[in-house]
Amino acid sequence: MEELRVGVLGFGGMGHYHSTNVKVPGVHFVAACDLDAEQLADAEKMGLKPYLNDEDAFFADSGINTVLLTVPNHLHKQYAIKAAKAGKNIICEKPAALCIEDFDEMTRIAKECRVLFEVHQNRRWDKDFRIIKKVYDENLVGNIFNIESTLHAQNCKLHGWHEFKRFGGGMIWDWSVHLIDQALFLIQDKIDTVYADLKRVFCTEVDDYYKIIIKFRGGQSITISHSTYGLKPAPRWLVMGDRGTVVVETFAGDGHLYKTTEFVPKLPPRIELNPAGPTRSFIPLAPGVLVTEDLPAVETSWLDYYRNWVDVLNGKGEFKIKNEEVRRVLAVIEAIFESGKTGLAIPFKYDN
């Protein structure tokens, strides 16, 4: 069996994450390169061969057959190309690139150099997302008319280089890459329009709040919103269909599926006065009409990403994350920035 011998370029947060947590047969973390001696000291303690500020020696190391790019976003392109030219396979952290042209160059050179290249869109395997995918694919709440994918963090600050445009900072280049990837994997339809409201609440250079609405040609739509300072967390997912509602509260996949015993619960005969004012619509359902069910069970693990790598390396199957899918997410992001500037919903010509 051919094995993955991974050299990690950039031993910061994600460099640490991959090499500490990925325990998969056939995957070995063998070396690390960074500019920061403290980060590399950790790598060395973990048994990885350290390359301090010596990328040429790192790329020339014949013990490495795959380079993991966990450097800041603006460096992905140059190092993916360097890795390909050194004959190394590439696992690239998201966002793969900061524009489609750069991504095309990376994939073209990887192909020319006959190396494997896949982007780490690990959140395709998130439990909360897999539950929603199952609800959607298996029609568990009937015809869906509203999907909300929401994240409100509470720490307000972006971390280090994420605050600055020149490094590919901002929340669009950070979390939205995952959330859009999930949305397009969930709703497999051509996109009609993309609308975005982008704000700089605490950051001066980059967006740290966004609301995105993607409308699909078949009539479906999804609203994705994310702030860095939302002190009362909203449910991670809200999905509403004509036969039920699903709430997934957090990444842990906790929540419920709500249904009613009658397909269309009967309205009370008279308007009532309650805190909503005089109303029929907002009278609570009669006792026993609302039924709360468990969410569907799912089995999922981020490690499946690496298991898939070992399979592909050994000629079994294809990558789960397709480069064409990554490219389409980048096209959506380009439309998001255009919408953010113009305030308009942007027709998504990419899918023509």
Would you count residue 255 as binding ligand NAD (CB under 6 A)? no
User: Closer CB to ligand NAD, residue 17 or residue 145?
Assistant: 17
Would you count residue 122 as binding ligand NAD (CB under 6 A)? yes
Would you count residue 228 as binding ligand NAD (CB under 6 A)? no
Would you count residue 36 as binding ligand NAD (CB under 6 A)? yes
Q: Which of 7, 72, 241, 340 binds ligand NAD (CB under 6 A)?
A: 72
Would you count residue 305 as binding ligand NAD (CB under 6 A)? no
Residues 6+ apart with CB under 8 A from 271: 278, 279, 280
Q: Which of 94, 127, 259, 320 binds ligand NAD (CB under 6 A)?
A: 94
Q: Which among 64-72, 188-196, 233-241, 328-336 is the span making contact with ligand NAD, rule CB under 6 A?
A: 64-72
Q: Which of 8, 9, 222, 329 binds ligand NAD (CB under 6 A)?
A: 9
Q: CB of residue 314 vs ligand NAD: minimum separation in angstroms?
A: 24
Q: CB of residue 160 vs ligand NAD: minimum separation in angstroms?
A: 5
Q: Which among 65-73, 213-221, 275-283, 312-320 is the span making contact with ligand NAD, rule CB under 6 A?
A: 65-73
User: Closer CB to ligand NAD, residue 72 or residue 253?
Assistant: 72
Would you count residue 11 as binding ligand NAD (CB under 6 A)? yes
- Distance from C-alpha of 221 to C-alpha of 213, rounded to nearest angstrom: 7
SS3 of the chain: the string is: CCCEEEEEECCCHHHHHHHHHCCCCCEEEEEEEECCHHHHHHHHHCCCEEEECCHHHHHHCCCCCEEEECCCHHHHHHHHHHHHHCCCEEEEECCCCCCHHHHHHHHHHHHHCCCCEEEECHHHHCHHHHHHHHHHHCCCCCCEEEEEEEEECCCCCCCHHHHCHHHCCCCHHHHHHHHHHHHHHHCCCCEEEEEEEEECCCCCCCCCEEEEEEEECCCCEEEEEEECCCCCCCCCEEEEECCEEEEECCCCCCEEEEEECCCCCCCCCCCEEECCEEECCCCCCCCCCEEEECCCCCCCCCHHHHHHHHHHHCCCCCCCCCHHHHHHHHHHHHHHHHHHHHCCCEECHHHC
User: Closer CB to ligand NAD, residue 42 or residue 239?
Assistant: 42
Q: CB of residue 161 vs ligand NAD: minimum separation in angstroms?
A: 6
Q: Which among 71-79, 136-144, 237-245, 274-282 is the span making contact with ligand NAD, rule CB under 6 A?
A: 71-79
Q: Which of 10, 50, 169, 170 binds ligand NAD (CB under 6 A)?
A: 10
Q: Which of 8, 14, 30, 31 binds ligand NAD (CB under 6 A)?
A: 14
348 exposure class (CB count in 10 Å sphere: 0-12, 13-18, 19+): buried
Query: Contact, 127 vs 298, CB < 8 A?
Result: yes
| Contact characters 159-198, ligand NAD, x per CB under 6 A | -xx------------x------------------------
Q: CB of residue 279 vs ligand NAD: minimum separation in angstroms?
A: 44
Would you count residue 54 as binding ligand NAD (CB under 6 A)? no
Give the residues lining the site for ligand NAD (CB under 6 A). Answer: 9-15, 33-36, 39, 55, 70-73, 75, 93-94, 120, 122, 160-161, 174
